[in-house]
Structure 1
């Protein structure tokens, strides 16, 4: 035992000294292993630090309070909630089908006696700033109260202490142009507030928030807006709660359930720190909510499998790349290893010395990668926090996890050194001392096993893409086929050698040398193969998916057109929005649009507020899709009346197969009030439509809404609530119906979401009111990024929810992705080929000196090195391209089958039509293939030639 330990100790000493002597090669292998360790350790530290502990999370939500209580507004009926308070629903299952009652609950009755409450209200307002108006969140919380400590973090100045003081977030100061000591005011409220400090919200560093004392801003603003007849932003109030000092272990789960029974939701510190089991949560026992609290482990298992696969592939790649590098070291140390054998050392000692080299490099890589990961994470934490938009928790170092990550580096180093160790131990002492190389036949078993694995994997992938619905079958078969190709690499390298007779002298020598020394060529080719195969697979899949997304893309406007809408405050700021767009963008035609307003002027589309109505286009019964509407109105599924064969036929019916486009229109029914300029901006080249609009007819873009007599019917709904109740109970629908002459635009003309256009004169003749909502604009050229930024700044000064869209067409992010993949594969290819070239130079050093001695010009050395590197790159790229196409095509075929099956199922069920037919193309990225097949090997060869010394000192060859 002591003898083995001493021999290993000596082997480690020799390996450490050899690594130090060959600093360049050692640094290369160390960096190759340490870089993944750095990335993984940094990712582990970042994720652990960003993940808040239960105590940290409770502090950010509750401050120093015992709980936070809120009223869901169910009029005090019993509710059920999850332990975190994220889900709240009425306890009685009957309210799953019926509307829940509305109204406040009685907090005093729902909470234990003697508690202390601190209100925390949240709302919004338009704040006057140095630039104009800024839509900002308003939070009324007495931040100086001990209960609120930890919710808001002070930065400069102080929190408000008087009703006329406010504090603001640092992001608000940055965007508003205001400063501490200045004043701000909310639009609609004449009162001004002095800014006394700045702070940040730890969970949202980008929050634009104003902090005031409870009751100082939101309530006065509500009264002022109501008095002016303007829309009032919603706001809500929760309460931080502190129990009496002698109340025991805090607000327990049983106390939470007692408060739930009286209609109040509670987020408790005690529950967050020690959640109850799912069996004690009534909400999780209900159908539809059971999986919210149950962790099946399937997701975690999939994540672990994916992580293990990635780690395994990374280790394989590193081993394939680092293995030849260790072989270089063993080859350069042949004489030293021969001396060990000459002095009584056996093969075991030779293997130990080479393996010790892997152990030494692995340990050094583990230490360097882990230390750099720690330092990098610590230094970049503020930058990462800004990127994530929230503060992390305490710096969390898990020693066992870091040790496990470091052990991967050691294991990788040892695995990479195994093959070179076995190869070095097989050399005879005489061959090592004299520099001669023995000739060994290549294994016949490994290529045959690789061929069998490649065929089996290809068959599995083919089966998965044609018959199976599980993508894992395709992925597994493709991985098996790729491993089979890797195993066949030595034999395939030999097949490449047959092309040597067709090449000139230098590439023929390089190819012959690579084939003769497959022990160093095959691992490098396999490494290139693996990297290129992954790149080709991802590139092919991404390009095909990009083509699918391009086909599915629905433009909201013609290319280069602009829309700007503002529905707040009855269109008061619409003129300012129009002016800002025309000032900053190259506008060619402006089309002002309005909507028909039924009820109060300040009502917004889809608002459903009291006193707000709407306009509805009535589709004739004969033009309604039978799959969607039941003629009896009995509430049953309309499609159930038809057989699957009839549903397939109806899916092709023009009444059902309608694509209404994807544009946003600020009107419930899609009917806009505008003149002929809107038709020009939308690209409708139809003089008859312009004449019809001028004559007072409605221009319709949807065929079903025009009846056979050529008229369109509009229902004026003055009481939206009564209308919805009548529709739900299948009663006659209230609201007067007016029929207007219409002109139907030809089929195939894109409407971009617009259902119809009615002229302002026609609206006025009907006695209706048109409220401006914005404009459409055509441009004479695509707006630049600088113009868009200036426009965004102008609109931010106006404030409010301006909805701006500039149609730029489909934008693919795959170009950058494919470029990154190509660069990655190129770097791997150049690295692997460079390592193989370095090994070949070590092997052929004596031959090159002999060539120089017999008069070969200096450029031969450089040329030979370039071609050696290029040969390895070409072989790896060709094999990798062939191996990478299979999984991509298999996955796309599987997706096509899945989507078609879903579409056919939906068509037979009555909810899919011809407009929903899936399009799953398979597209080959020829540009990426060309860059890999031509540019990368050529670049590797040129780089190797440039970095190789053309002259070397002559030396006497060892005697035979």
Structure 2
């Protein structure tokens, strides 16, 4: 076609402008194609996923937390007890040690895969590590891990470790490592990785060479043994582990992940779990669908705004190109070309640039994804199943680039076709009257878009409706831009000469100014939407954050009650390494031997429990049938009752023994509480525990199983110890500590104590060197005494948010520079006119700078208003999803999903972007402009 040939030749002649537009369109195509390739490549097939879960076995059997029969879904990722959670009674369930062979057919192969967790001594200190025992040479484990270096462990005393463990521990193949408490060391003979969990710190040893010896060593030293979970890889042959076999394993309390069932799942009617959920009126995937809806809304909004932004950024470039080619287009008209031919030429320019952008962007996306594959796999923590390219999806991405180029050229094409032949040949643009219909269309679009976005956010339509409404509203603002530019012009009467000229020039040439303003508007709208959404989620996270202590306070606590004799040494190490303002040593009450803790099951150990008076207990939990004894209105009313308030704070102990220094660390400024503790009274921070000035602590010695969940009305048996107590006001919090006992009162009650830790406030914030030195000293002492310092809310994903903010800011400034630079190029004739009449260079520089600054300022102001709508829509969508989730779970807790405007960011945009654009334009404006000859007709 002639139009395409003309457009191609024009694009080749104006290489700089063409490259600029190509880059603007191709950049998002690179990102979208790379995301598509990464997503598809990291998406494992069912067979690949099963190979990484169960190796070459037919199935994997695992025990569950329910000591009864269970129902499961075919994939094995959800299960629940038969009869549902409401009908499950842990006190009536009788755990049975069911051997695995009893649920398998004769001749089945079995490989045990055992896992536990312990601290391993490293070159830096102690590292929490997953310990695993499995026969690595067995045929059934093929696919579970990938050996990277060295060899498989084959004898006692040999292990292999993940690359992540070696990196964090400072070890290497050939090193000796020792789990804490172990009687021997182990040599690392190989390095491996878990394909679907690259960031796991794990070591593998041959069966019965690591977990059992370590458990014996720990229990023999008087400590707690390891908690070990056993999985069983099984091979049954034939048709594999069928659905009937899965149900048979479920009947004996085993969860089964079967290869045959995952590859060929049964009908929903054959799955008892689904039937049970339907009978109870539950939708188990409610939360997943709600969260997926929010994710789709975010993705749709971001993609829609990005495409709109590219169109608006490329539009001014095509408009400038059309005006630069006005003489050529005029010659087409002078030789008999119709308006449709001129439109076809300009639109062909968009087609040519769009097609080139599609090819370049898609090719770069493929190359970048291939080159960055190792980095992406490490970042995702997942080895891809392969490099999967789906041509149809990449073709769709490429078509988006072509469509974007065409859309960006529509308005310039229409404008160019309306230009008269004489005006095109002489370079005169004439004066066009303002369009009176376009502002009305813009107002309707803004109102309809805002209503649509808000309706989508509060209704079930959600997802793309919010994105569509936000895009429609932004297009409405774009349609209003010429009118709004005229309104801005009324402020010129109060400005000095140069900015007044710049503003009047912008208003007089709205056809040039409006596209540039719209381009900056689109870029700023995206930045404001991202910044507002992030600021709102940050405010929500800050609100939900629960501090364990007052800001700047800290605690050192003993995690191993049997090592209580080492706690004083750890306290002294803390005092030597850190600069402490207040130090409050804290003890714990022990029942039996000092080494007994709250969960000890050995003979001679008991525990201490706070007994809440019956009248202070929440009726919801004391009723025989629980919540079913109350109406929904009664449940909501009782959840607001002070007796039913949930505890927000968590501490290692709810009852501690300390003096008044602890109150200082906890920030308790109640003189009466300090006086009560000094006088020998206990201090309570939860009024449910106190009655008539007394608190009751029950010494329980005959409950060998430790704390268990009791039914309504059940009382543990023991001896009560009553202490006089001062009840602190409700506004005073103990940060999870419910009762503070004075040492004298505990001794008078005949109770024993043992050192537990230290609470402290800091005189100076410790450095990283001090923290590492303290960790080394405590490690040498041999006690597991973690140190926690409350530093307040630190923000979530701070690095990612910072990177996103910087990227959005650069895009905004770049868009402003591109749009205003194109406007400046279009206004080159005005600068030459100034030079012709003798204006000094300073005037030309100042005028050029203010021209770009005015365009950027108008774009930033309008973009700020346009960007708030999609952020509000996303937050309302999340609020609706969270409210539905809370309602589905039966919770009466208020939903807090705020919408907050980041005024600091908006203020920075309003100042920095126009200022930067103005300074840049002034700097690049030539100090002396050569006069150009007038174009001849």
What TM-score comes out, normalization by structure 2 length?
A: 0.88
Question: Is residue 2:46 matched to residue 1:80?
Answer: no
Pairing 1:501-540 to 2, within 5 Å after superposition? 501-536=493-528, 539=531
Matched, 1:330 2:314: no
Quick one: structure 1 residues 658 and 311, their matched pair in 2 at CA, closer, same or farther if it must change by over 3 Å?
closer
Query: Which residue, 941, 947, 951 being the options, matches 2:928?
Result: 951
* Residue 237, structure 1, aligned to residue 237, structure 2: no
Q: Tell me the CA shift for residue 73 of structure 1.
A: 7.6
Question: 2:174 maps to which residue?
Answer: 181
SS at structure 2 position matched to 1:783: coil
Q: Secondary structure at the match of 1:144?
A: coil
Of 111-120 and 718-727, more deviation after overlay is shown by 718-727
Contact 2:291 2:881 in 1 (8 A): no
Contact 2:454 2:873 (C-alpha < 8 Å) held by counterparts:
yes
- TM-aligned CA deviation for residue 672 of structure 1: 0.4
Q: Distance in 1 between matches of 2:671 and 2:731?
A: 16
**Distance (Å, rounded) in 2 between the aligned partners of 1:958 and 1:326:** 22
1:741 matched to 2:724: yes
Secondary structure of the corresponding residue to residue 490 of structure 1: helix
Distance 1:891 1:145 in 2: 51
SS of residue matched to 1:385: helix
The answer for the alignment partner of 2:685 in structure 1 is: 701
Task: Note if 1:665 corresponds to 2:651.
Answer: yes
Which of 910, 932, 939 is the equivalent residue of 2:909?
A: 932
**Conservation of the 8 A alpha-carbon contact between 1:153 and 1:200:** yes
Q: Establish whether residue 756 from structure 1 lines up as the match of residue 746 from structure 2.
A: no
- Is the contact between residue 115 and residue 228 of structure 2 (CA under 8 Å) also seen in structure 1? yes
2:263 to 273, 290, 314: 273
**Distance of 2:633 and 2:153 partners within structure 1:** 69
Instruction: Give the unaligned 5+ runs of structure 2.
Output: none
Measured in 2, the distance between the counterparts of 1:101 and 1:334 equals 89
Deviations 1:775-826 (A, max 9, x none): 2121102334554455566667888875542112234569989987876665
1:14 alignment counterpart = 6
After TM superposition, the structure 1 = structure 2 runs for residues 35-434 of structure 1, keeping only pairs within 5 Å, are 35-72=27-64, 78-91=69-82, 96-99=87-90, 100-244=93-237, 247=238, 249-287=239-277, 291-292=283-284, 304=296, 306-434=298-426
- Alpha-carbon offset, residue 330 of structure 1: 1.4
In structure 2, the partner of 1:559 is 551
Q: Which residue of 2 aligns with 1:485?
A: 477
1:878 maps to 2:861: yes
CA distance in 2 between partners of 1:309 and 1:265 (Å): 40
Provide the rounded CA distance (Å) in 2 between the counterparts of 1:469 and 1:460. Answer: 12
Contact kept in structure 1, 2:558 and 2:757, CA below 8 Å: yes
Change (3 A) 1:861 1:19: farther
Mapping 1:780-859, distance limit 5 Å:
780-788=763-771, 791=774, 802-812=785-795, 827=810, 830-859=813-842
Q: Distance in 2 between matches of 1:729 and 1:336?
A: 90
* Farther off after superposition, 820-829 or 772-781: 820-829
Judging changes above 3 Å, is the alpha-carbon distance between structure 1 residues 457 and 576 closer, same or farther for their aligned structure 2 residues?
same
Q: Residue 504 of structure 2 aligns to a residue in which SS?
A: helix
**Cα distance change of structure 1 residues 74 and 107 upon mapping to structure 2, 3 Å threshold:** farther
Determine the C-alpha separation between the residues in 2 that align with 1:364 and 1:626. Answer: 70
Query: Is the contact between residue 527 and residue 812 of structure 2 (CA under 8 Å) also seen in structure 1?
Result: no
> Does the aligned pair in 2 maintain the 1:818–1:928 contact within 8 Å?
no
Aligned equivalents of 2:691, 2:286: Cα separation in 1: 53
1:569-589, CA deviations, whole angstroms, 9 ceiling, x for partnerless residues?
524554564355334432233
Alignment partner of 1:757: what SS? strand
Contact preservation (8 Å) 2:319, 2:412:
yes
Distance 1:349 1:818, change over 3 A: same
**CA distance 1:814–1:360, shift in 2 (3 Å):** same
After superposition, the C-alpha distances for 1:564-622 in whole angstroms (9 at most, x for unaligned) are: 22332524554564355334432233322232233565554467788754212223344
For residues 552 and 295 of structure 1, the distance between their equivalents in structure 2, rounded to whole angstroms, comes to 19
Judging changes above 3 Å, is the alpha-carbon distance between structure 1 residues 17 and 316 closer, same or farther for their aligned structure 2 residues? same
Cα distance change on mapping 1:40 and 1:216 into 2, 3 Å: same
Match of 1:521, SS? helix
Contact kept, 8 Å, 1:521 with 1:872, in 2: the verdict is: yes
Distance 1:676 1:501 in 2: 69
Q: Is the 8 A contact 1:595 1:771 kept in 2?
A: yes
Give, in angstroms, the shift of residue 508 of structure 1: 3.0
Aligned to 1:677: 661
In 1, the alpha carbon distance for the partners of 2:703 and 2:568 equals: 29
Q: Aligned partners of 2:873 and 2:26: how far apart in 1?
A: 35
TM-superposed CA distance for 1:346, in Å, is 3.1
Partner of 1:4: none
Give 3-state SS (helix, strand or coil) of 1:206's partner.
coil
Task: State how far apart, in whole Å, the 1-side matches of 2:79 and 2:880 are.
Answer: 40
Within the alignment, does 1:596 sit opposite 2:605 as a pair?
no
Residue 120 of structure 1 and its aligned partner are, at CA, apart by 1.1
TM-score with structure 1 setting the length? 0.86
| 1:58 to 1:470, Cα distance in 2 relative to 1, 3 A | closer
Which residue does the alignment assign to 1:620? Answer: 613
Check the 8 A contact 1:629/1:638 in 2, yes or no: no
Alpha-carbon contact 2:695-2:725 (below 8 Å) kept: yes
SS of aligned partner of 2:382:
coil
Alpha-carbon distance, 1:737 to partner: 0.8
User: Residue 754 of structure 1 aligns to a residue in which SS?
Assistant: coil
1:772 aligns with 2:765: no
Q: Is the 8 A contact 1:701 1:745 kept in 2?
A: yes
> 1:212-248: CA deviations, max 9, x gaps?
111112222223333333211210222222234xx2x
| Distance of aligned partners of 1:360 and 1:460 in 2 relative to their CA distance in 1, 3 Å threshold | closer
CA offsets 1:247-277 (integer angstroms, 9 cap, x no match): 2x43233333344345443222222333333
The CA deviation string for residues 148-169 of structure 1, in whole angstroms up to 9 with x for no partner, is: 1221221221111112322222
Distance 1:588 1:309, change over 3 A: closer
Q: Secondary structure at the match of 1:415?
A: helix
> Mean Cα displacement is larger for which, 548-557 or 587-596?
548-557
Closer, same or farther in 2 for the Cα pair 1:127/1:541, shift >3 Å? closer
Report the Cα distance in structure 1 between the residues aligned to 2:666 and 2:624, rounded to whole angstroms: 40
- In the alignment, is the contact (CA less than 8 A) between 1:570 and 1:771 conserved in 2? no
Cα deviation code 1:674-730 (max 9, x no counterpart):
23332332233566645544554323233342322x322111122447897895263
Q: SS of the residue aligned with 1:956? A: coil
Secondary structure of the residue that 1:318 maps to in structure 2?
helix
- Shift of the 857–608 alpha-carbon distance from structure 1 to 2, 3 Å rule, reads farther
Instruction: Say how many residue pairs are matched.
Output: 930
